Amino acid sequence: MAEVLRFKRQRQPRSQPQRWQFPKAAWVVTALLAGAASVGYFAPDLSLNSIGGASRFTLCTRSSQTNCVIDGDTVRHAGVTIRLADIDAPETRDPKCASEAALGRHATQRLLQLMNAGPLEVVRIGSRDEGRYGRKLRIIERDGQSRGSVLVAEGLARRWDGARRSWCG
């Protein structure tokens, strides 16, 4: 059974103001919690999280948004940026041609629909936690099917093979 920490009032002569004494056990607990937090013990592990159907996603218009779609292969959930690790979608920022820009906008809109269609699972794969831009590398699934594979099947993205290739001609 957990011990309940109580603050004890320290007896002082009447001429001095009364002070509160912090029990030594409370200092130990506080130090342990601070240490655990500093090494990330309480940080969310995206590999086991789910995104509930109540989470509504919008298109990202500012960096402070918490649940939004950035582009066809990147979302932000609970303030954490997640790169869909299994696909490559056309760029919407600095596209190389007009057809890439148009396809990128279409992929972004479709991913927004897929993110809002019900509960999702965020799955960590491989040994890399983050990509080179600091985004978490994950697969987002519904009923065991990757949302990225839906975009690939619809021609809005391609399987990620580790190399960037042009979307223009």
Residue 17 has pLDDT above 60, yes or no: no
| Per-residue model confidence (pLDDT) at position 35 | 53
State the average pLDDT for the chain: 79
50-159: CATH architecture:
Beta Barrel (2.40)
Strand partners, 124: 138
Residue 167 has pLDDT above 70, yes or no: yes
Residue 6 has pLDDT above 50, yes or no: no
Instruction: Give the tens place of pLDDT for each residue, 75-119.
Output: 999 889 999 999 999 999 989 999 999 999 999 999 999 999 999
Pairing mode, strands 50-51 and 120-124: antiparallel
Annotate 66-120 with DSSP letters as a single string: SSEEEETTEEEETTEEEEETTEE---SSS-SSHHHHHHHHHHHHHHHHHHTSS-E
| Per-residue model confidence (pLDDT) at position 55 | 73
Percent of the chain at pLDDT > 70 equals 69
| Per-residue model confidence (pLDDT) at position 142 | 94
| Per-residue model confidence (pLDDT) at position 51 | 74
* Nearest-angstrom CA–CA distance, 50 and 144: 12
Domain ranges within the chain, ordered by starting residue: 50-159
| Per-residue model confidence (pLDDT) at position 16 | 52
